[in-house]
């Protein structure tokens, strides 16, 4: 006889709310059902292969999934909360010039269980209590090229994390933005922009050739923003490429049409994977930020945590593979 439908809710509550790691713990289920489940299924989380701490308190986790694929995720301590950075793909096909994951090439989509499994594994390892974390989809992969699984992962995460504390970051995949926009409980949206003109952005982010800036901003204007919420634009600053005062002025004019804030991220360098690209001086970063602020843009400079563990934005690679795209010289502007 098939189990009653309500048993699925009990299973979810045991695995998610009570953090059960075996069917034997699920005392509200009949023993016969527990025994049957144990013969047919298993309860598990991604295997923690390695934990790499950084001096600033961040910890990078290397996970091995059931098929052997490896992904990385990061726990980042904040003043009053903790931020958990999750991966949505094993690899990435978008080939952004400033991202180590993009140097690896395409991998596969992660399932919803593999995405939230990273969160649950870090919660267990780091004793992260429910409703105390921010969750950001800023790890390996492009979340909006994996929309069905990301949406299912959001449904699970929201059992204990408010949508206002979840951020999905995209390189600008317009159909994915539209798919996420119709969700009744929307997370925060972050867009990796990095340049306000198509020529520079296409050199840095090939996705711009498919969805150029005009198409991207049309989608962002369709995004239903509740009062008090804003779109976050992420700008990776690269010395001599997109860090000029003129570039800042163009950026200020572009984002003025969207309730937004700008996060400036000085390039997290990787000599092996991102040759020819370097971080601007603090003075140039400060001048870029002041130019935006003087134009009325809400701006923050985000000096990334986790650099000492290669866990900062753009540094996740998940597996040891040759830097097969790393010979490409960096774009210069």
**Among the options 85, 96, 99, 313, which is catalytic?**
313
250 Cβ neighbours under 8 A, 6+ residues apart: 196, 197
> What 3-state DSSP class applies to 13?
helix
Of 130, 29, 36, 126, residue with least CA distance to 73: 126
Of 321, 319, 322, 307, residue with least CA distance to 52: 307
223 Cβ neighbours under 8 A, 6+ residues apart: 177, 181, 189, 231
Task: Output 195-202 pairs: Cβ under 8 A, ≥24 positions apart.
Answer: 195/235, 195/242, 195/247, 195/251, 196/247, 196/250, 196/251, 196/253, 196/254, 196/255, 197/250, 200/241, 200/242, 200/247, 200/331, 200/333
**Among the options 72, 114, 234, 269, which is catalytic?**
72
Look at the block and give the residue holding tokens 């003087």: 294
**Helix/strand/coil percentages in the chain, nearest 5:** 35, 20, 45
Strands 166-170 and 188-192: parallel
Give catalytic status of residue 99 as yes or no: no
Distance in angstroms (rounded) separating the CA atoms of residues 35 and 85: 36
Q: Are 90 and 69 in contact (CB under 8 A)?
A: yes
Give catalytic status of residue 72 as yes or no: yes
So which residues are the catalytic ones?
72, 313
């Amino acid at each position: 006889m098939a189990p009653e439908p309500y048993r699925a809710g009990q299973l979810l509550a045991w695995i998610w709310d009570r953090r059960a790691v075996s069917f034997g713990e699920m005392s509200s289920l009949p023993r016969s059902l527990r025994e049957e489940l144990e013969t047919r299924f298993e309860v598990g989380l991604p295997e923690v292969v390695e934990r790499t701490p950084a001096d600033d308190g961040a910890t990078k986790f290397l996970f091995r999934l059931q098929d052997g694929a490896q992904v990385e995720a990061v726990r980042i301590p904040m003043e009053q909360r903790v931020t958990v950075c999750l991966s949505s793909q094993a690899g990435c096909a978008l080939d952004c010039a400033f991202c180590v994951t993009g140097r690896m090439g395409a991998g596969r989509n992660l399932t919803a269980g593999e995405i939230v499994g990273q969160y649950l594994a870090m919660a267990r390892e780091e004793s992260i209590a429910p409703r105390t974390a921010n969750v950001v989809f800023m790890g390996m992969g492009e979340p909006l090229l994996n929309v069905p699984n990301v949406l299912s992962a959001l449904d699970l995460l929201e059992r204990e994390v408010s949508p206002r504390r979840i951020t999905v970051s995209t390189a600008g995949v317009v159909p994915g933005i539209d798919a996420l926009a119709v969700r009744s409980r929307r997370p925060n949206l972050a867009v990796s922009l990095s340049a306000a003109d198509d020529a520079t952005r296409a050199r840095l982010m090939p996705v711009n050739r498919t969805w150029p800036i005009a198409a991207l901003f049309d989608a962002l204007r369709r995004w239903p923003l509740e009062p008090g919420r804003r779109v976050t634009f992420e700008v990776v600053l690269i010395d001599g490429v997109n860090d000029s005062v003129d570039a800042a002025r163009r950026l200020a004019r572009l984002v003025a049409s969207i309730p937004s804030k700008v996060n400036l991220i000085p390039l997290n360098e990787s000599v092996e994977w991102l040759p020819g690209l370097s971080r601007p001086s603090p003075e140039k970063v400060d001048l870029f930020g002041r130019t935006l602020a003087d134009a009325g843009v809400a701006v923050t400079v985000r000096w990334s945590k986790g650099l000492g563990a290669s866990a900062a934005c753009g540094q996740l690679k998940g597996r040891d593979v040759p830097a097969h795209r790393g010979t490409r010289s960096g774009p210069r502007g």
